[in-house]
Protein backbone atom coordinates (compact mmCIF):
# COMPACT_ATOMS: atom_id res chain seq x y z
CA UNK A 1 0.00 0.00 0.00
CA UNK A 2 2.73 2.47 0.97
CA UNK A 3 4.75 1.59 -2.14
CA UNK A 4 1.80 2.43 -4.40
CA UNK A 5 1.37 5.78 -2.65
CA UNK A 6 5.09 6.50 -2.99
CA UNK A 7 5.06 5.66 -6.71
CA UNK A 8 1.99 7.88 -7.19
CA UNK A 9 3.67 10.74 -5.32
CA UNK A 10 6.89 10.43 -7.34
CA UNK A 11 4.94 10.37 -10.61
CA UNK A 12 3.04 13.55 -9.74
CA UNK A 13 6.24 15.23 -8.56
CA UNK A 14 7.81 14.67 -11.98
CA UNK A 15 4.70 15.87 -13.78
CA UNK A 16 4.61 19.06 -11.69
CA UNK A 17 8.35 19.56 -12.24
CA UNK A 18 7.85 19.42 -16.02
CA UNK A 19 4.74 21.63 -16.02
CA UNK A 20 6.33 24.26 -13.75
CA UNK A 21 9.47 24.21 -15.92
CA UNK A 22 7.48 24.71 -19.12
CA UNK A 23 5.38 27.54 -17.66
CA UNK A 24 8.42 29.22 -16.09
CA UNK A 25 10.34 29.07 -19.38
CA UNK A 26 7.36 30.48 -21.27
CA UNK A 27 6.87 33.32 -18.77
CA UNK A 28 10.58 34.16 -18.80
CA UNK A 29 10.50 34.18 -22.60
CA UNK A 30 7.57 36.59 -22.54
CA UNK A 31 9.30 38.86 -20.06
CA UNK A 32 12.74 38.86 -21.69
CA UNK A 33 11.92 38.46 -25.37
CA UNK A 34 8.25 39.26 -25.82
CA UNK A 35 7.30 35.70 -26.85
CA UNK A 36 7.98 32.11 -25.93
CA UNK A 37 10.60 29.87 -27.52
CA UNK A 38 8.57 26.75 -28.21
CA UNK A 39 7.64 23.93 -25.86
CA UNK A 40 11.00 22.12 -25.69
CA UNK A 41 13.15 25.23 -25.22
CA UNK A 42 10.65 26.68 -22.73
CA UNK A 43 10.88 23.44 -20.77
CA UNK A 44 14.68 23.41 -20.77
CA UNK A 45 14.94 27.11 -19.85
CA UNK A 46 12.41 26.61 -17.05
CA UNK A 47 14.13 23.55 -15.59
CA UNK A 48 17.58 25.13 -15.65
CA UNK A 49 15.99 28.34 -14.38
CA UNK A 50 14.47 26.42 -11.49
CA UNK A 51 17.92 25.18 -10.51
CA UNK A 52 19.43 28.65 -10.81
CA UNK A 53 16.47 30.23 -9.00
CA UNK A 54 16.74 27.71 -6.18
CA UNK A 55 20.41 28.54 -5.80
CA UNK A 56 19.73 32.31 -5.85
CA UNK A 57 16.85 32.02 -3.37
CA UNK A 58 19.07 29.87 -1.14
CA UNK A 59 21.73 32.59 -1.11
CA UNK A 60 19.16 34.97 0.35
CA UNK A 61 17.81 32.38 2.80
CA UNK A 62 14.48 32.05 0.97
CA UNK A 63 12.78 28.68 0.48
CA UNK A 64 9.63 27.81 -1.43
CA UNK A 65 7.02 25.39 -0.17
CA UNK A 66 4.21 25.77 -2.67
CA UNK A 67 3.63 25.41 -6.39
CA UNK A 68 3.31 29.19 -6.78
CA UNK A 69 6.56 29.72 -4.87
CA UNK A 70 8.32 27.14 -7.04
CA UNK A 71 6.99 28.83 -10.16
CA UNK A 72 8.22 32.25 -9.00
CA UNK A 73 11.61 30.78 -8.14
CA UNK A 74 11.89 29.09 -11.55
CA UNK A 75 10.81 32.24 -13.41
CA UNK A 76 13.40 34.35 -11.58
CA UNK A 77 16.09 31.79 -12.38
CA UNK A 78 14.99 31.54 -16.02
CA UNK A 79 15.10 35.32 -16.40
CA UNK A 80 18.63 35.34 -14.98
CA UNK A 81 19.58 32.53 -17.38
CA UNK A 82 18.14 34.36 -20.41
CA UNK A 83 19.88 37.57 -19.34
CA UNK A 84 23.25 35.79 -19.12
CA UNK A 85 22.67 34.13 -22.50
CA UNK A 86 21.80 37.51 -24.04
CA UNK A 87 25.15 38.89 -22.89
CA UNK A 88 27.01 36.29 -24.98
CA UNK A 89 24.65 36.18 -27.93
CA UNK A 90 25.86 37.84 -31.12
CA UNK A 91 23.61 40.54 -32.46
Given this model, what pLDDT does residue 9 score?
76
Which parts of the chain register pLDDT below 70? Answer: 1-3, 5, 90-91
Q: What angle do CA 63, 81, 36 make, to 5 degrees?
A: 105
Given this model, what pLDDT does residue 12 score?
83
Q: Is residue 28 part of a domain?
A: no
**43-57: pLDDT as tens digits:** 899 999 999 999 999
Q: Which of 39, 17, 30 is nearest to 82 (CA)?
A: 30
Residue 74, domain extent: 46-85
Given this model, what pLDDT does residue 65 score?
86
Given this model, what pLDDT does residue 37 score?
76
Q: Is residue 26 part of a domain?
A: no
Sign of CA dihedral 69, 72, 77, 78: positive
Q: Is residue 64 part of a domain?
A: yes
Please state the domain count of the chain.
1
CB count, 10 Å around CB of 64?
Answer: 16
Amino acid sequence: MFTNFLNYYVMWSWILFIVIGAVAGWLAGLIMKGRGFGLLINLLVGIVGGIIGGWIFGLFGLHTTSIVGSLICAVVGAIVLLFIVSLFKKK
